[in-house]
Structure 1
Amino acid sequence: MNPTLMLAWKSVNNRRLTAFLTILTVAVSLVLLLGVERIRTQAKASFANTISGTDLIVGGRSGQVNLLLYSVFRIGNATNNIDWKSYQEFSQHRAVDWTIPLSLGDSHKGFRVLGTNQSYFEHYRYGNKQPLKLTQGKPFTGLFETVIGADVAKKLGYHIGSEIIIAHGISDVGFSRHDNLPFTVVGIFAPTGTPVDKTVHVSLEAIEAIHVGWESGARMGQTPSADHLVNAEFQPNQITAMMVGLKSKIQTFALQRQINTYTKEPLSAILPGVALHELWGMMSVAEQALMVVSGFVVVAGLLGMLSSLLTSLQERRREMAILRAMGARPRHIFSLLILEASVLTFIGILTGTALLYGLLALAGPFVTQNYGIQLPLVMLSDYELGLIVAVQLAGTVIGIFPALRAYRQSLSDGMTIRV
């Protein structure tokens, strides 16, 4: 082993407590840096995979971000609805494999209500084309049955058999509730980390049934009872949007152009992947803020190491003087302190990396279960390796400051220090 490196190791080993605290500071800083980067990357991937396997989303004429927000994220309202005849026409198009109709406009205690059909359970995909799964119960089949998302069940304490009252519009107030038509919970979706978790799902027919006797959002006299409505047949006049899966990806742009130029009513067809990336770009400020915060944490950790080295240097002036008296040249003293800083940083990086993977193994299932963000135990990416190299170089550079100070200390100054 190189004599200078051996001396640096023994010097670090001789100051175990100080070295341990320095290593811990670097390790915690690295865990935060890589942890934030891993969560940022996976959150972005999860965001981009909020919906997958869907080739087009069709709604009333509007911007693609607005259409994406209300159809996928249940945020905002549609500028216009789609006529049911238009939906049927495109659902039977020769290029279309499947469609999922979406009807929005009602709510339950702050959660959006979505009207749809069995195609939602069969064809809706998220993440890496993962299908929706039920942790309890079954899909709705009756008129006044509902399947709720994981967050709805958790926050409101609902279970199979619970009854809920849907309100007209976004504001859940007394005069807007369909209080004579309760829905029974028959299924609960597994957590997905998507807006599905915060949605109450009912049938399209149910959306029509609860609005019998309502006009322009107002109750017009006595509304029919549930027993009376169960025996009636309902078909929607309009829906909010629809998701489309095609038989061949090659036909995507041709169908999109056909929908955008549809003459019977103004419609917009968007590519969900393109719209998702545009929306994420609008939120890039938050992403950059996370990286800046984690970067400052690393800087604080390295400054803590610098403070520790400078403090210990004052106590080691006699040690440096003895080394000089034994023949060590100033460059040896300089190299010794540089190596110490490098060794401490390197051990801190190893400790921090091991700690990171330990936390991922322990917290990964919890994060996936509650937030839908996958935190797989995969190898470090090139970008993460680049961050580690940058931390190692920064730690080495930090060692230059105490090394220069030791380099300039004279032999006589060191030998005459009072202790």
Structure 2
Amino acid sequence: MLVKIALASSWSRRHVLSMIVLSIALSVALLLAVEQVRSEVRNSFNRSVAGTDLIVGARGGELQLMLYSIFHIGQASNTISWKSFELIRDNPNVEWALPISLGDSHKGFRVVGTDAKLFDFFKVGRDEPLVFKKGKRFSDLFDTVIGADVAKKLNYRIGQSITLSHGMGATSFSEHDDRPFTIVGILESTGTPVDQSVYVSSEAIEAIHVGWQSGTRIRGQTVSESDIRDMSLTPKLITAVLVGVKSKLSTFTLQRLINDYKGEPLQAVLPGVALQQLWQLIRIAENALFVVSICVVISGFVGMLSVLLTSLSSRRKEMAILRAVGAKPRHLVGLLMMESAMVTLLGTVLGTVMAAIGLLVSAPWLESQFGFHLGGISSIVSTLPMLALVLALGALIGIWPGYRAYRQTAHDGLTER
């Protein structure tokens, strides 16, 4: 009976309550969107460093080293020598070591000079290897492998020729247009910076800079491709080294050995430790966004409480009649709680749908601009405890109006004033 009365009473006030439902829906959608983006950003960063035990670079900030070597954010403060890389690679505790050379780009996407063994040892996600969607790894000097986002955004295909640019800008006036590369492989999407990278060999980075000095091409000096292929293209300097160890127990020993290296100032960083530093830096912003979302939800509940309390004046006869036919205080409180619970349920369901649609629509843009994927509707399942808490709070809002209705006497409600 209470359900029927609550439905009939709510329907009679549907125009006012619909605004409250919309307010709660918008607040719930904002709460879910903020939580999903925050969670996905963390997951994207964690996936990117899943299989790397140490990151080695020039001495400086640990967080800075991880950001420019793994996430391609910012630039290196200095470089390290190839000799140091060879010493690290030949250490008995090292299973694999990959050189990373940064500094060039292609239409805004980072160019990464490395070794073809990257496709064997570099892991993402839960230790998942890189998978080719089409083609194969680079083998020739002027071969290149591109990430999924590069291929999708620029509409590239296997066999197409591209040229690299000197520097990191989306638009460059220093093109390596005399040394075109051929796309031989396109990687599957990983939800990491790999998707927005162009991979070439370390030797290719040296090759395209033959005849260049201080970031510009030397006028009047041309070197044929055959002459370049005959040169020794072993790099003299690289940006960083990604290291995988044979035993996790030897990680700290190797880290200390690199940090104490006397040949040049090096540092070895544990990716997990550097990530914790990043989370500490952005925790204030995360908490601020979450608090704002909670405040928006609370404001929706306050609006609903105001409507319920205001409507009591026009419902005094209704409440008095219910008291007159035998309704007890718990029935009145239960009726108001049921109404607030139904309004909250409708708002929560509508807000969840709005959040799911919003994430679905914005996913391609977020993927192309920031390089991370949103889980969409399936990922919202993880927020069910939060939604249950919202529903419980919405139902509890009805206690105070119910108590006020109980305090009104039957005589007061039936008397004209």
Scaled by the length of structure 2, what TM-score is found?
0.85
Gap change, CA 1:75 and 1:366, over 3 Å in 2: closer
Gap change, CA 1:127 and 1:368, over 3 Å in 2: farther
Could you tell me how far 1:275 is from its partner in structure 2? 0.5
Task: Kindly indicate whether residue 193 of structure 2 is the aligned counterpart of residue 199 of structure 1.
Answer: no
Partner of 2:268: 269
| Whole-angstrom CA distance in 2 between matches of 1:155 and 1:177 | 20
Partner of 1:230: 229
Residue 15 of structure 1 aligns to a residue whose secondary structure is helix
Partner of 2:298: 299
Residue 118 of structure 1 aligns to a residue whose secondary structure is coil
Query: Aligned letter for 1:145?
Result: D
Gap change, CA 1:399 and 1:369, over 3 Å in 2: same
Task: Kindly indicate whether residue 325 of structure 2 is the aligned counterpart of residue 321 of structure 1.
Answer: no
Task: Kindly indicate whether residue 174 of structure 2 is the aligned counterpart of residue 180 of structure 1.
Answer: no
Partner of 2:140: 142
Partner of 2:8: 14
Residue 117 of structure 2 aligns to a residue whose secondary structure is helix
Aligned pair count? 409
| Whole-angstrom CA distance in 1 between matches of 2:51 and 2:403 | 60
Could you tell me how far 1:103 is from its partner in structure 2? 0.6
| Whole-angstrom CA distance in 1 between matches of 2:24 and 2:37 | 20
- Structure 1 residues 20-419: aligned runs within 5 Å: 21=18, 26=24, 29-30=27-28, 32-171=30-169, 175-221=173-219, 222-328=221-327, 332-342=331-341, 344-345=343-344, 351=349, 371-374=372-375, 377=378, 385=385, 387-388=386-387, 390-417=389-416
Contact 1:46 1:374 in 2 (8 A): no
Contact 1:68 1:272 in 2 (8 A): yes
What CA deviation, in whole Å up to 9, does each residue of 1:193-231 have, x standing for no partner? 222122211111111111111122232232313344234
| Whole-angstrom CA distance in 2 between matches of 1:390 and 1:175 | 56
Could you tell me how far 1:369 is from its partner in structure 2? 7.7
Query: Aligned letter for 1:14?
Result: A
Contact 2:148 2:188 in 1 (8 A): yes
Gap change, CA 1:324 and 1:12, over 3 Å in 2: closer
Query: Aligned letter for 2:158?
Result: I
What CA deviation, in whole Å up to 9, does each residue of 1:319-369 have, x standing for no partner? 1121233344556534532344345546766x4698599869978997998
Residue 49 of structure 1 aligns to a residue whose secondary structure is helix
Query: Aligned letter for 2:336?
Result: L
Contact 1:111 1:200 in 2 (8 A): yes
Query: Aligned letter for 2:185?
Result: G
| Whole-angstrom CA distance in 2 between matches of 1:43 and 1:75 | 14
Could you tell me how far 1:42 is from its partner in structure 2? 3.4
Scaled by the length of structure 1, what TM-score is found?
0.85
Contact 1:367 1:373 in 2 (8 A): no
Partner of 1:3: none
Residue 178 of structure 1 aligns to a residue whose secondary structure is coil
Could you tell me how far 1:286 is from its partner in structure 2? 3.2
Gap change, CA 1:394 and 1:408, over 3 Å in 2: same
Gap change, CA 1:131 and 1:274, over 3 Å in 2: same
Query: Aligned letter for 2:6?
Result: V
Identity of matched residues, %:
48
| Whole-angstrom CA distance in 1 between matches of 2:379 and 2:109 | 35
What CA deviation, in whole Å up to 9, does each residue of 1:169-195 have, x standing for no partner? 224666522121111222222222222
Q: What is the alpha-carbon root mean square deviation over aligned residues?
A: 3.3
Query: Aligned letter for 1:131?
Result: P
| Whole-angstrom CA distance in 2 between matches of 1:67 and 1:354 | 39
Gap change, CA 1:88 and 1:106, over 3 Å in 2: same
Contact 1:256 1:269 in 2 (8 A): yes
Query: Aligned letter for 2:57?
Result: G
Could you tell me how far 1:304 is from its partner in structure 2? 4.0
Query: Aligned letter for 1:13?
Result: L
Structure 2 runs not aligned, ≥5 long: none
What CA deviation, in whole Å up to 9, does each residue of 1:8-51 have, x standing for no partner? x1222213545784667656644543453344223312222222
What CA deviation, in whole Å up to 9, does each residue of 1:283-322 have, x standing for no partner? 2233223312331332233234324434543442221121
